[in-house]
Structure 1
Amino acid sequence: MIALDLDNTLLNSEKKISETNTRVLKKLHRQGKRIVLCTGRPINAIWDWLKQLELMGEKDYSVNFNGSLVIHNVDKQPLMADGMKRAHFADLHKFCMAHGYPLDILDFNGGYPINDLPLSGYEKRLGGNMHFLHTPFIKLPAVDYSKAVICATPATLNHIVVHMPAQLKQEFHIVRSQPMILEFLKPGIDKGSALDVLLDHFGWTRENLMTFGDAQNDLEMLASAGVGVAMANGTPEAKQTANQVTAVDNDHDGVAQFLTTYFSQND
């Protein structure tokens, strides 16, 4: 199983999967490897990339919302969905209200920019095939939610991380997925735990897993894999956690180059 983060890993700086990465991954998929996209996005927001890589077979799954959801690509049926209720976010909302921070809360389909707080840049950054409904916190619908996001300047997030209340650290698994995005997940939820669910579904172990990532929200899946590969452009923490590092970055087909070299040596 080859599990791949998207932003700054499989995607280049133009938010595209290159022809070289596409060709190599499609070849490995045809040979029987499981190719699993692991992302903070919902499946609708990665649909075009799934089709580009031809990941629409009976055994094709994705990990969404940084591990809250494992979904069967072709019919969008969940293998695992582990969410939270609105009440879980009450303290986080109070924290954002007290300091004037924006907040987006996501269910398993789209996002709710909380409009009793300052406008977030998350909707503009994410875009494409994902619905957003601007809603005050008190009027959030009674559904299951996958995570919350504070999208702000890197300097603002640096300040938030340093001054994060201990109570919020206990209530959430908090990860910095990008310089401008701080995510709040259910404790125990991450990409690594979601991949464990998928490995168990296939009767495999972590020794059957290769992962690619670059950032804090990839650490668990990098640490848990038999072959954990950090990108050359990844954070120092990602490189320290992984047991391999690509020779080149995401703008120079780092994924494809590593896979081509690895399987030519190990098949």
Structure 2
Amino acid sequence: MIKMIALDLDNTLLNADKKISEANTQILKKLHKQGKEIVLCTGRPINAIWDWLTQLGLMGENDYSVNFNGSLVIRNVDKKPLMADGMKRAHFGDLHKFCLANEYPLDILDFSGVYPINDLPLSGYEKRLGGNMHFLHVPFAKLPVVDYSKAVICTEPATLDHIVAHMPAQLKQEFHIVRSQPMILEFLKPGIDKGSALDVLLKHFEWTRDNLMTFGDAQNDLEMLASAGVGVAMANGTPEAKQTANQVTAVDNDHDGVANFLTTYFAANN
């Protein structure tokens, strides 16, 4: 029996205008009212998804989100972490040297804000991520002594293609590297992903993966698509996402793919 529905945002629950449609909103509210846990899973921090959480009514005592692609599991209403698994500044030393040598931009995120590294070229991440986020431009050596959730290279897709094809073996060992969007490459702590974060949440509720349904479209969704009892790739998803999932939506994210699948699935399985 499905008890938890976990959803990626970009190109999954969100349409091309970065909005949750009325159809998606209504079905998720309905299922939440029936007792299903609805969990937004994203690379963003909670402040950047607050309006969507409010729109869906996910502010109860048992409502959680997965943030930073799995580094943080947090209770929405009071922003109390259930799990936070970060890295220290030194962990990013080799990555910074790689970006410095190749003139790539780099943003490093803690659990509340973003640090665009300003001894490197300007990143496009701040413009893409936008509202409700604190950005502090600093040189790498001046990063504060705190725990960090991940790092991001945000640049043109062709440049990221080249970076992925020529990624140093050392960096592959030091990070779990995922391409969450065509212009965004993310560097996470090894073993951290959306699937591992959802395992933490399932354990908290004393449920199993058989109780989990997930929706995703891209490389950073693969672990949660593979681990769920019902893993659903979007019709607009990557070939890798569709191969990993055991279901595919009939229509894409701009045509209420999530709502379409949920309506059909629960009509047949109630």
TM-score (norm 2): 0.99
Q: Give the Cα separation in 2 of the matches to 1:254 and 1:173.
A: 29
Q: Give the Cα separation in 1 of the matches to 2:262 and 2:136.
A: 40
Correspondence for 1:165: 168
Q: Give the Cα separation in 2 of the matches to 1:128 and 1:248.
A: 29
Q: 2:63 aligns with which of 60, 63, 66?
A: 60
Where does 1:206-217 land on structure 2 (aligned, <5 Å)?
A: 206-217=209-220
In the TM superposition, what is the alpha-carbon distance from 1:94 to its structure 2 partner? 0.1
1:220 partner SS: helix
Correspondence for 1:113: 116
In the TM superposition, what is the alpha-carbon distance from 1:45 to its structure 2 partner? 0.3
Q: 1:260 aligns with which of 242, 255, 263?
A: 263
Correspondence for 2:19: 16
| 1:27 is the counterpart of 2:30 | yes
Where does 1:57-96 land on structure 2 (aligned, <5 Å)?
A: 57-96=60-99
The residue type paired with residue 87 of structure 1 is: A
Superimposed CA distance per residue, residues 93-118 of structure 1 (whole angstroms, 9 cap, x where no aligned partner): 00000000000000000100000000
Q: Give the Cα separation in 2 of the matches to 1:46 and 1:130.
A: 10
Q: Name stretches of at least 5 consecutive residues in structure 1 with no aligned partner.
A: none
Q: 1:188 aligns with which of 187, 191, 210?
A: 191
Q: Give the Cα separation in 1 of the matches to 2:135 and 2:44.
A: 13
| 1:247 is the counterpart of 2:245 | no
Percent of matched pairs sharing the same residue = 88
Correspondence for 1:51: 54
Superimposed CA distance per residue, residues 64-123 of structure 1 (whole angstroms, 9 cap, x where no aligned partner): 000000000000000000000000000000000000000000000010000000000000
| 1:133 is the counterpart of 2:150 | no
2:132 partner SS: coil
Correspondence for 1:146: 149
Q: Where do 4+ consecutive residues of structure 1 move more than 2 Å?
A: none
1:115 partner SS: coil
Q: Name stretches of at least 5 consecutive residues in structure 2 with no aligned partner.
A: none
Superimposed CA distance per residue, residues 214-264 of structure 1 (whole angstroms, 9 cap, x where no aligned partner): 000000000000000000000000000000000000000000000000000
The residue type paired with residue 250 of structure 2 is: A
Q: Give the Cα separation in 1 of the matches to 2:237 and 2:134.
A: 30
Q: Give the Cα separation in 1 of the matches to 2:30 and 2:179.
A: 33
What is the root-mean-square deviation of aligned Cα atoms in Å? 0.3
Q: Give the Cα separation in 2 of the matches to 1:238 and 1:109.
A: 29
The residue type paired with residue 113 of structure 1 is: P
TM-score (norm 1): 1.00
1:259 partner SS: helix
